[in-house]
Amino acid sequence: MTSLITQGQQQLKLGLWSIALATFERAIALDETDRAAWEGKAAALKKLGRWGEAVEVEERLVEVRSRGIVLDSETLAEQWFNSGLQKATQGDMLGAIQDWEKAIEFKPDFHVAWYNRGNSLSALGRNEEAIVSYEKAIEFKPDKHEAWTNRGFALYELGRNEEAIASYEKAIEIKPDKYGAWSNRGNSLSALGRKEEAIASYEKAIEIKPDYHAAWYNRGALLSDLGQKEEAIASYEKA
């Protein structure tokens, strides 16, 4: 059995994914309780782009635990997390959230699961819940600039612009070249009527990413509001 697992793992490393899949399936036929064989099969299926089947295999691994074969919490958390990723890719946000919540049950400090849960909640318009999830991600990984940025966006969606700006600025403090946070900061400043500050924020986004058309457009809109029509036209033309 061990030799089959080793053989399959070597085949994966060599890119012989179909052959590796067959090898792991042979190992499973000999011992259906062998976790390494199931994990290898899931890995081979992913390499082959057969994501649906890979998720089924990972769910089977979770079922192994209910039959009295104990898997460690880290492995179970990873399995539920990967299942959630697949469901999110397929547009099943509710299913993804449920899987990530199961992952968090096994690994409460799983910051990436908290972050992805926040993204799906935000996509569903459940911004209050999304903020809580982003804050949990930040609690366990304070320098996760993506969570700070997306927390800012959820706050912006709720009209809490001062808080949103603070969140964007935290993201920028961690990653100064995060042009999306600069641009979103501009949106919140604009919503508060702080147009000149917003323009400066958009210009910072453009400095980092010159082809960021949304920032050029929003800059143009504010310049137009301020009566700077020629500059506004030039900004729209860049967009």
33 has pLDDT over 90: no
Give the chain's mean pLDDT.
91
65 has pLDDT over 70: no
2 has pLDDT over 80: no
Residue (of 140, 138, 175) closest to 154 by Cα position: 138
Cα 140 to Cα 29, 110, 134: the distances in Å are 41, 8, 10
Retrieve residue 238's tokens: 């860049």
Residue 129: the pLDDT is 97
Question: What mean pLDDT comes out for the span 10-31?
Answer: 88
Residue 53: the pLDDT is 82
Rounded Cα distance, 65 and 81, in Å: 16
13 has pLDDT over 80: yes
Residue 221: the pLDDT is 97
Question: What mean pLDDT comes out for the span 127-156?
Answer: 98
- For the CA atoms of 20, 21, 27, 33, what is the dihedral angle to 10 degrees? 130
153 has pLDDT over 90: yes
Residue (of 136, 65, 131) closest to 104 by Cα position: 136
Would you call 195 exposed, middle or buried from its count of C-beta atoms within 10 A (0-12, 13-18, 19+)? middle
Question: What mean pLDDT comes out for the span 38-49?
Answer: 88
Length of the chain: 239
Which of 52 and 97 is assigned the larger pLDDT? 97
Residue 28: the pLDDT is 82
Instruction: Return the SS3 of 72.
Output: coil
191 has pLDDT over 80: yes
> DSSP of 187-228, one letter per residue?
HHHHHTT-HHHHHHHHHHHHHH-TT-HHHHHHHHHHHHHTT-
Q: What is the pLDDT of residues 82-110, one digit of tens each?
A: 888 988 988 999 999 999 999 999 899 99
- Please report, rounded to a whole number, the percentage of residues in the chain having pLDDT higher than 90: 64
Q: Residue 143's CB: how many other CB atoms inside 10 A? A: 12
Whether 186 contacts 218, CB under 8 Å: yes
User: Which residues in 19-166 belong to E strands, given as ranges?
Assistant: none
Cα 60 to Cα 1, 29, 102, 171: the distances in Å are 20, 14, 15, 39
Residue 236: the pLDDT is 97
DSSP state of 71: P
pTM of the model as a whole: 0.71
Q: pLDDT class for 69, splitting at 50, 70, 90?
A: low
